[in-house]
Structure 1
Amino acid sequence: MNNFMNYINENGSAIGKALLQHISLSFVSLMITMVIAIPLAIFLMRYPKVGEAVQQLAGVIQTLPSLAILGLLIPFVGIGTVPAVIALVLYAIMPIFSNTYAGLTGIDPELKEAAEAFGLSGPFKLFRIYLPLALPMILTGIRLAMVMIIGTATLAALIGGGGLGTYILLGIQTNNNNALLVGALLSAILALLASYLLKILSKLSFKKLGIGLVALLIILGGFYGWQAWSNSQSQTITIAGKMGGEPEILINMYKDVIEADDSHTEVKLKPNFGGTSFLFGALRSGKIDIYPEFTGTVLQSLVKGDGQVAHNPERAYQAARQSLNKQFNLDYLAPMAYQNGYALTVRASDAKQYQLKSIADLAKYPQFKAGFDPDFYQQKDGYPGLKEKYHLDFTNVKTMEPALRYEALNNGQLDVTDAYTTDPQIKQYHLVVLKDSDGFFPPYQAAPLMSHSFARKHPRAVKALDKLKGKVTTEQMQAMNYKVTVLHQKAADVAKEFLQQEHLI
């Protein structure tokens, strides 16, 4: 408990920001859903067959996996809050529409006949009779939708939407239970508070609710307008990173050297932003400005070519830089010194028992349970290419997040997994890295990737990032990874400490 409270005290500002993002995302999604679902239910109350069909359609949408919906939306609306809001609205339509529709169509027919007999106008009947009578049902639907939205909004972090899901991902990636608890507990508390607040509001009159809602919308509109104006007054650079502790260290290094060189530039970080293809697409679409990419990944997975990668690091970098320049109009700055290549690793006890020394030795044991990072499982420079090169054919292969696969290997739930040569868990769990005897894995050096237009507009940022050229050895990166992943120190603090020790800032 003391560790948990210390974590909250040390990260209070960032946690507060993530909480506000989560509330904002949830509230906006709820408002949009209400604007769509309630008028639609009012319109269709006179067309019961169409109303039933819409209810069925909303139910079908809700059965679709949320991650699948997010994946389908990205090619059309990009990343960030927009696809997250769309997905949340789709999920929340059913409870609000169904309850509103049921409340309106369930009004006593005798009351409707009486209203007709008195010759009351349509608007009068709707706002003075039908909606007030249906209000308890409508608020119940809103309450259900709000709780659903708050819980599902944690997935927004997977596509750069921010919110409390960022801490859940961070906790999983770095094996940090404190971060995981912060995200999970605050999400649960927020859902309970929202449910309780809506329960209190259900006791108010229809008129008072309408006035309060209008006032709230005016206040929020002014707040977002002021925020947008404030953001437009400063130059902002958005830097994103892949999942895990090391990418977060890198993007914090980028941030520190850029801001140290130019105090008028604000750098916005998006850690744990996604996998390779996701980040590359975000960069090309302009959703982010910079992200660190590895030379081997560029040559094997991003650019078109014959798939042959030079094992000389300098030649590999030049080939990657030229291909990115020619094919995508992207600038690839000079890399750091360290190598963070792929490897396969096993428990020391298994290495001894089965006499495993190289990757080729694994071909004799197809019964081994393998668990791989999603990127490694699908990229040409990962398991597909490795399987062909070394004739591997594991009968049981799973994909899982990077931090989980090490724990599963250590606990005996897996027999072999992929690793990066700078991963601190290799030392932590006393694992054995198998030799790449046929030289399959290409050189992997991290370097900032950005568009031509960004590089032209931000020459000072490019100059600042060039300070990292040839810096950081493999041993230094592994030590920093150990501090973040095992000792649970903040990546921002670890990055800044290193830069200061090396006199780079």
Structure 2
Amino acid sequence: MPLMSCFRRAAAITVLLFAGQAMAADPVVVSSKIDTEGAVLGQMILQSLEDAGVPVENRLQLGGTSIVRNAIKAGEIDLYPEYTGNAAFFHDQADRDIWKDADKAYEQAARLDREAHNIVWLTPAEANNTWAMSVRGDLARKHNLNTLEDLARYINNGGTFKFAASAEFVESASALPAFQEAYGFKLDSDQLLILSGGNTAATLRAAALNNNDVNGAMTYGTDGGLNALDLKVMEDTLGVQPVYQPAPIVRAEVLETYPEIREVLEPIFESLDLETLQRLNGQVAVNGVPASRVARDYLDGLGQD
């Protein structure tokens, strides 16, 4: 081989090696949705990967679901926390009962996203951030109310109950009517306080302040105000609502480059049960603590266990 050709070949190999190294060193673009829980979970992912020596780029609180979803599909971001139940809508399967079973919903979400977009779902949290019925803490403690079966029994035995909810929750066949049918209770019009809009902050406040004798509220499972306002989520033991477990999702090629992402995030998300996420979200939403501080304190606490 001519000497010049050898130099050219060696130079080409060197360029390829450096290109490969540069590619391997590309930071993982971590993102999240714009809500409180998205900020908290996003910070946990960002900080824990940084602690583990994985290079990261902060694109947290990028926007709503459609924005972050399109961004990861386009390769503009690499990793963000998503909810299993949303995969039903991503893949046009919202009418299937499979989404009401936590394990099956996760497996289906993981399979569909891997096949369609080469996106990997990592270990989910135990918490379920779905539509829920909650009651005042004093009522729950006095009558030992923990599940919707307990609440139905209380209502059917003549217990005093008034529920704050949005018109959508009251009228949607998949919300209050579905709960009533499954658990065998019925709320009359005088037992409902229907508030405009779908903001759970208003329903939480109505129950917490006992406005118009309201002692129950439409909420989401991990609403930040629940603990702070002493409201308790009634467990949906029959699985009426789809399951919305938060889980990190990551582009497969990024996970191949940084396989340690899986083992770093697994114990963190495994530790996040319903009450824990309620408490963490409440620190941000109610107490005004920055999400970055809440995440740092939680991660440091895990390291001490």
Provide TM-score, normalisation by structure 2: 0.65
Does the Cα contact within 8 Å between 1:358 and 1:434 map onto a contact in 2?
Answer: no
Q: Which residue matches 1:304?
A: 92
Does the Cα contact within 8 Å between 1:371 and 1:414 map onto a contact in 2?
Answer: no
Does the Cα contact within 8 Å between 1:238 and 1:270 map onto a contact in 2?
Answer: no
User: Are positions 1:317 and 2:90 aligned together?
Assistant: no
Tell me which structure has the larger Cα radius of gyration. Answer: 1
Please list, as runs of the form range in 1=range in 2, the aligned pairs for 1:395-434 lying within 5 A after superposition: 398-407=196-205, 410=208, 412=211, 417-431=217-231, 433-434=233-234
Distance 1:388 1:407 in 2: 23
Q: What whole-Å deviation, never above 9, does each CA across 1:415-439 have from its counterpart, x for those lacking one?
A: 6653233334223333354564643
Q: 1:288 to 1:397 in 2, by over 3 A?
A: farther
Aligned residues: 256
Q: Could you tell me how far 1:346 is from its partner in structure 2?
A: 5.3
Distance 2:204 2:134 in 1: 9
Please list, as runs of the form range in 1=range in 2, the aligned pairs for 1:52-71 lying within 5 A after superposition: none
What is the identity, as a one-letter code, of the residue corresponding to 2:113? Answer: L
Q: Which residue matches 1:8?
A: none
User: Are positions 1:371 and 2:166 aligned together?
Assistant: yes
Distance 1:289 1:348 in 2: 40
What is the identity, as a one-letter code, of the residue corresponding to 2:50? Answer: E
Match of 1:331 among 120, 124, 148: 120
Distance 2:51 2:33 in 1: 24
Q: Could you tell me how far 1:266 is from its partner in structure 2?
A: 2.9
Q: Which residue matches 1:148?
A: none
Does the Cα contact within 8 Å between 2:226 and 2:282 map onto a contact in 1?
Answer: no
Measured on the aligned residues, the alpha-carbon RMSD in Å equals: 4.2
Larger fraction in strand: 2
Distance 1:423 1:477 in 2: 8
User: Are positions 1:245 and 2:36 aligned together?
Assistant: yes
Q: Could you tell me how far 1:308 is from its partner in structure 2?
A: 1.2
Distance 2:202 2:120 in 1: 34
Q: Could you tell me how far 1:259 is from its partner in structure 2?
A: 0.8
Q: What whole-Å deviation, never above 9, does each CA across 1:327-352 have from its counterpart, x for those lacking one?
A: 33321111133344431235679999
Q: Which residue matches 2:146?
A: none
Distance 1:497 1:395 in 2: 38
Q: 1:404 to 1:384 in 2, by over 3 A?
A: same
Distance 2:212 2:32 in 1: 29
Please list, as runs of the form range in 1=range in 2, the aligned pairs for 1:60-459 lying within 5 A after superposition: 235-262=26-53, 265-271=55-61, 273-299=62-88, 301-305=89-93, 306-309=95-98, 312-345=101-134, 357-358=151-152, 370-371=165-166, 383=172, 385-386=174-175, 389=178, 390=180, 398-407=196-205, 410=208, 412=211, 417-431=217-231, 433-434=233-234, 436=236, 438-459=238-259
Q: 1:239 to 1:371 in 2, by over 3 A?
A: farther
Q: What whole-Å deviation, never above 9, does each CA across 1:31-73 have from its counterpart, x for those lacking one?
A: xxxxxxxxxxxxxxxxxxxxxxxxxxxxxxxxxxxxxxxxxxx
Please list, as runs of the form range in 1=range in 2, the aligned pairs for 1:462-481 lying within 5 A after superposition: 462-481=262-281
Task: Specify every segment of 5 or more residues in structure 2 that has no aligned partner in the other structure, as ranges.
Answer: 1-22, 143-149, 157-161, 182-186
Does the Cα contact within 8 Å between 1:371 and 1:417 map onto a contact in 2?
Answer: no
Task: Specify every segment of 5 or more residues in structure 1 that has no aligned partner in the other structure, as ranges.
Answer: 1-231
Q: Which residue matches 1:225?
A: none
Stretch of structure 1 that moved more, 442-451 or 395-404: 395-404
Q: Could you tell me how far 1:448 is from its partner in structure 2?
A: 0.6
Larger fraction in helix: 1
Q: Could you tell me how far 1:496 is from its partner in structure 2?
A: 1.5
Helix, strand or coil at the partner of 1:450? strand
Question: Identity of counterpart residues, as a percentage?
Answer: 23
Q: Could you tell me how far 1:325 is from its partner in structure 2?
A: 1.7
What is the identity, as a one-letter code, of the residue corresponding to 1:398? Answer: S
Distance 2:206 2:76 in 1: 35
Q: 1:434 to 1:239 in 2, by over 3 A?
A: same
